[in-house]
Amino acid sequence: MYAALMTGLADDGAFSPDRQRALDEYVLRQGLTGLYVGGSSGESGLLDVEDLIEQQAVVAADAKGVTLIAHVGAPSVRDSVKLAKNAARLGYAGLSALPPHSYPFTDAEILGYYSELQAATDLPLIVYEVPIRTGRPIGLEALVAIMDLPNVAGIKFTSTDMFKLSMLRRRCPAATLFFGFDEVYLSGAVLGADGGIGTTYNLLGKLYAALDRAIRAGDLPEAQRLQDISAVFVEGLLDTGVLPGMKAAFRAIGIDVGPTRAPMAMRISDGAERMEKLVRRPEIAEWIS
């Protein structure tokens, strides 16, 4: 279970090492397996490569003894390889990357991208299926071909196509499958996901660690109870926007990780007040350190 780590920003939107360290300190207390650094939850699509390289270094210094996966997906494969090689130098355990999506790339072009990226280092690579971000799913046969590449170890599957997830589990039995929708992680785990990577794990990592333990122990009532708490929290983020709401939630518990980078912004005028009420709900407050 990995937190898809958020990014600490200064008030002017610049990367803030101090705010990143404050966030890291909190997340590292959650009992998770590790951190997934520089992904969509970290606003990577709005950050410069130099910001992401600096963040990789700050997190690597903070998270000694914790498994780190660097998300290195960028519109250009050149930037992705640069990020991948930097993560390897810093001692990250693995890599992950969104497929290229700046243009309507073919499955063959996406396969070519992953082929070049997996060969750039010796680190295992987690590919990424996330139609909500890329605008389209990758075909099953193309995904299987990508996952057959030498250094590809698995996939982060952030899709509601649960039949496709089950087919991937059967077609790629040795692969590591991470499920990316926090609010329905139970569904993915039941269908064979090995673990989860999620945004709300930053704040509620203890909840998700407990949820996964309940699933592995076969305690379905407890797993359903914990998943319902997760769903209540995620529902509260729908009006605010996920990342603006998450940053407001952290401010509500006394940890300022800064704003989201423009143009991303809080969607409603009372978002901060709503998130403050949400984190004080007893069933949620129980899981906040």
- Per-residue pLDDT tens digits for 260-287: 999 999 999 999 999 999 999 999 999 9
pLDDT number for residue 102: 86
Distances from the Cα of 75 to the Cα of 86, 98, 107, 275, angstroms? 17, 9, 16, 33
Give strand pairing partners of 156: 128, 178
The domain segmentation of the chain, as residue ranges, is 2-219
What averages of pLDDT result for each successive group of 10 residues across the chain (289 residues)? 98 98 98 97 97 98 96 96 98 97 93 98 98 93 97 98 97 98 98 98 98 98 98 98 98 98 98 98 96
What DSSP character marks residue 165? H
pLDDT number for residue 267: 98
Active-site pick, 2, 26, 36, 156: 156
Please confirm, yes or no, whether 164 is among the known catalytic residues: no
Q: Which of 137, 176, 172, 174 is nearest to 155 (CA)?
A: 176
pLDDT number for residue 269: 98
Stated pTM of the model? 0.97
d(C-alpha 69, C-alpha 37), whole Å: 6
pLDDT number for residue 289: 83
d(C-alpha 141, C-alpha 170), whole Å: 13
Domain 2-219 class in CATH: alpha beta
Burial string for 172-193 (b: 16+ CB within 10 Å, else e) reads beebebbbbbbbebbebbebeb
Please confirm, yes or no, whether 208 is among the known catalytic residues: no
Q: Note whether 110 and 142 are within 8 A (CB).
A: yes
Active-site pick, 2, 36, 114, 128: 128
H and E: helices and strands count for the chain:
13, 8
d(C-alpha 250, C-alpha 260), whole Å: 12
